[in-house]
Amino acid sequence: MAMQDGAKVVLIYQKGDQVIERIVTPRAFKGDLVVCYDHFKRARRHYKLANILAATRIGKSYDC
């Protein structure tokens, strides 16, 4: 639903031994990946669904 509404999401995911938090705007699913705009990196990033530990919608954003 966040993807349809253009909402931002707090994403918690595991990268190796680290647990990382990002604010992203989901754009599309590609197989086992979710394509997002990462607001911290200011770029499009791909995240493996299996590595996502939690995702929480935090609002709408149509400007990204």
Please state the separation of Cα 33 from the chain's center in Å. 10
pLDDT, one tens digit for every residue, the chain (64 residues)? 666 677 899 999 999 999 999 999 999 999 999 999 999 999 999 999 999 999 999 866 554 4
Kindly state whether residue 63 falls inside one of the protein's structural domains.
no
pTM of the shown model = 0.79
* Number of domains present in the structure of the chain: 1
Range of the domain at 28: 2-58
Q: What is the CATH number of the domain that holds 26?
A: 2.30.30.520
In a domain, residue 64? The reply is no
Cβ neighbours for 2, distance < 8 A, ≥ 6 positions apart:
8, 9, 25, 26, 55, 57
Q: Please, what's the b/e burial string for 18-31 (b: 16 or more CB within 10 A of its CB; e: otherwise)? A: eeeebbbbbbeeee
